[in-house]
Amino acid sequence: MKIKYLAQAGIIAALYVVFTLIANAAGLASGVIQVRISEALTVLPFFTPVAIPGLFIGCLLSNILGGCVIWDIIFGSIATLLGALGTYAIRKKLPDWCAAIPPILANTLIVPFVLSYAYEVPDSIPFLMLTVGAGEVISCGILGILLLKLLKPRRNVIFGEQK
C-alpha cells in the first residue's frame, strides 16, 4: 500500500513540474498576473492526502528547476503546502468548490511578499496581492475546480477508496 501512495505522490509531483514548465515556456507564469497551470492540481488533496507531499515536492522542484531565488523556493513551496493542507482539512466540511480557497489564500498572502522582498518587484504589496490572487483564482478557482469536477466521478478508480 505504501508503494501505491509513494507512486501517486510522485506522479502528482511530476505533473506539477511538467505543468509549471509548460506555463513558464508559454510565458504564463511570469508578469503581473501569473497563471501557473500546475496550481490547478492543488485541489487534489480533496481526494487524497498523498497529494499534499506530491504538491509540495512538485512545487519545490519546479521552483528549483525554474531558477527561482532561495526565498521563492522556500516560501513559494510553503504556500503550496499550506494550501494543500487547507484543502485536505476542509474537504468534508464545505462544498466542493471551496477546495480552491486555501491555495488561493495561501498564495495570495505569501507570494506578494516573496515578489516584493526577494525579487524587489516595485509594486505595492496590496497590488501584488490583487494580481497574485487573480492568477490563483484562474489557476485554482477555475481550472482547479474544473479538474475536481472531472475527477470526482472517477475518484475511487484514480485514487482508491479513501477513509
Distance CA 136, CA 65 (A): 21
Q: What is the pLDDT of residues 17-32, one digit of tens each?
A: 999 999 999 988 776 6
pTM of the model: 0.93
Question: Rounded mean pLDDT of 63-74?
Answer: 95
**Residue 88 — pLDDT band, cuts 50, 70, 90?**
very high
Distance CA 115, CA 125 (A): 9
Instruction: Tell me the three state secondary structure of residue 85.
Output: helix
Distance CA 135, CA 25 (A): 17
Which three three-digit cell numbers place residue 69? 531565488
Distance CA 33, CA 26 (A): 13
Which three three-digit cell numbers place residue 95? 462544498
Q: What is the pLDDT of residues 91-121, one digit of tens each?
A: 999 999 999 999 999 999 999 999 999 999 9
Which three three-digit cell numbers place residue 112? 506578494
Torsion sign over Cα 117, 122, 125, 127 = negative
Distance CA 115, CA 128 (A): 8
Distance CA 112, CA 28 (A): 17
CB 141 within 8 A of CB 108: no
pLDDT of 57 reads 98
Domains delineated in the chain = 2-154 (1.10.1760)
